[in-house]
Amino acid sequence: MSKNILLIGTHWGDEGKGKIVDVLADNAIGCVRFQGGHNAGHTLVIDGETTILHLIPSGILHDNVKSIIGNGVVVSLDALLQEIDDLESKNIILDNKLFISELCHLILPSHKNLDIAKEEKLGKSSIGTTGRGIGPSYEDKVARRGIRLIDFRNTKILKDKISNIMDYHNFLLKNYYNQPIVDVEKTFESLVDNYEKIKKFVIDIKPLLLNLTNSSNVLFEGAQGAMLDIDHGTYPYVTSSNTTFAGLLSGTGINVNRINYSLGIMKAYTTRVGNGPFPSELLNEIGDNLANWGGEVGATTGRARRCGWLDIKVLKNSIELNSINGIALTKIDVLDKFEKIKICIDYDMDDNYTARNIKFMEINGWMKSTVGVTKFNNLPKNAQKYVELIESLSERPIDLISTGPSRNDIIEIKDIFV
């Protein structure tokens, strides 16, 4: 029987999904992105070589895996071409391996300008977006004036659509944001040029998805994390897509019954990039140590990530939102040097998103290296206890533990394909 697995970040993104997808892709024939865009940053380290993916699914480094970009993803042609170039320069073949839904909406250059102008205008209350044009592109999708890849079939109609949408963007840029406008003719020409280069990857993904999910294991790779979901996250400090299970369904069009397992990807502590509530945040030396030892710098924007103890309340919410069956725990090695480790188990949130009555549990650290450990029994006893405590608090099994950045630094407790 084939097993189709959803992999979803349990908190605010950067949980290490890319690596887990890459590890599981050994046993898969398909890997699918279903929402977000090149705001994501998935870091893969293989034989010491680092590859950072933003838009292309993390299964791409495997020869036998078909990588699919679902209709829920917003695509910047510039970013896509850049990523294709990077992969091809590493001799990774994409023909017959990369497929992009013709229903994907575009991120236009003016979307990026609007994103940046909007954030600037918000000043202190800005969201802290990645500045990639994600929000404005989804806005246009919902407003029913977006441009889709399928529109390139008829360049005459496309030109009208681009002129219309960009007239609107330029009106906003000039009159509302007081910013320079974007040249419509040049944009159109460059889009058509760029499309020609990626056209061979653009298809109706539905038959391929049905075929793959019928025949063997397919991974559905979430981007960002559950608390950045436009509906269920810490609104307005969220991204503009459904980062939760629901996003998989709308972002690919496949039937929910085809998904056999939902794997929550969770870091052994919590991080967040950008603004917004973060109850277990540590604005002290411990937070600094987590950031330094964990290399907590955004893979997309290079921004420092905010750090705090693991937030179990968020995890429980995420389990419900995403029907999570099991957990992949990442970066446990970052906790190796802490004498005491805390877990945030509860708090109240007021109307201003200020957390009150924050409750923690504390355990003794293990003060030994866990880097590269591949068997649960070889973890220090207190690290084992930490894992078991998370399992008992969340009532979910921990199926995998990542013990370092490399593909091989992994404890596979359970074969989730069985």
Instruction: Name which of 65, 73, 75, 71 is nearest 97 in CA terms.
Output: 65
Q: Terminus-to-terminus CA distance in the chain, angstroms?
A: 9
Instruction: Name which of 378, 388, 385 is nearest 403 in CA terms.
Output: 378
| Binding segment (CB under 6 A) for ligand IMP, from list 116-124, 212-220, 221-229, 394-402 | 221-229
CA distance 138 to 129: 14
Which residues does 176 contact at the CB level (< 8 Å), separation at least 6?
none
- 373-412 residues in contact with ligand IMP (CB under 6 A) are none
Q: Taking each helix axis from N to C terminus, what angle separates 109-122 and 155-171, rounded to the nearest 10 degrees?
A: 20
Residue indicated by tokens 């091989």: 408
Residue from 16, 41, 70, 326 touching ligand IMP (CB under 6 A): that is 41
Closer residue to ligand IMP, CB minimum distance, 77 or 341: 77
How many of the chain's residues bind ligand IMP (CB under 6 A)?
21
In our burial notation (b when 16+ CB lie closer than 10 A, e otherwise), range 54-83 reads bbbbbbbbbeebbbbbbbbbbbbbbbbeeb
- 113-152 residues in contact with ligand IMP (CB under 6 A) are 127-130, 132, 134-135
244 binds ligand IMP, rule: CB under 6 A: no
| Binding segment (CB under 6 A) for ligand IMP, from list 97-105, 161-169, 234-242, 358-366 | 234-242
Closer residue to ligand IMP, CB minimum distance, 133 or 326: 133
Closer residue to ligand IMP, CB minimum distance, 226 or 319: 226
CA distance 389 to 238: 29
CB 108, CB 141: distance < 8 Å: no
Residue from 10, 76, 240, 370 touching ligand IMP (CB under 6 A): that is 240
Residue from 72, 264, 274, 326 touching ligand IMP (CB under 6 A): that is 274
273 binds ligand IMP, rule: CB under 6 A: yes
CB 99, CB 69: distance < 8 Å: yes
User: Would you state the structure tokens that stand for residue 148, as one six-digit string?
Assistant: 């889709």
Q: How far is the CB of 158 from ligand IMP (least distance, A)?
A: 26
Closer residue to ligand IMP, CB minimum distance, 129 or 262: 129
The closest residue (CB) to ligand IMP is 274
For residue 370, with 0-12 CB atoms within 10 Å meaning exposed, 13-18 middle and 19 or more buried, which class applies? buried
CA distance 78 to 195: 10
Indicate which residues carry an active-site annotation.
Answer: 14, 42
Residue from 113, 239, 330, 394 touching ligand IMP (CB under 6 A): that is 239
Closer residue to ligand IMP, CB minimum distance, 41 or 404: 41
13 binds ligand IMP, rule: CB under 6 A: yes
Q: How far is the CB of 115 from ligand IMP (least distance, A)?
A: 7
Closer residue to ligand IMP, CB minimum distance, 69 or 127: 127
Chain residues binding ligand IMP by CB under 6 A are: 12-14, 39-41, 127-130, 132, 134-135, 223-224, 228, 237, 239-240, 273-274
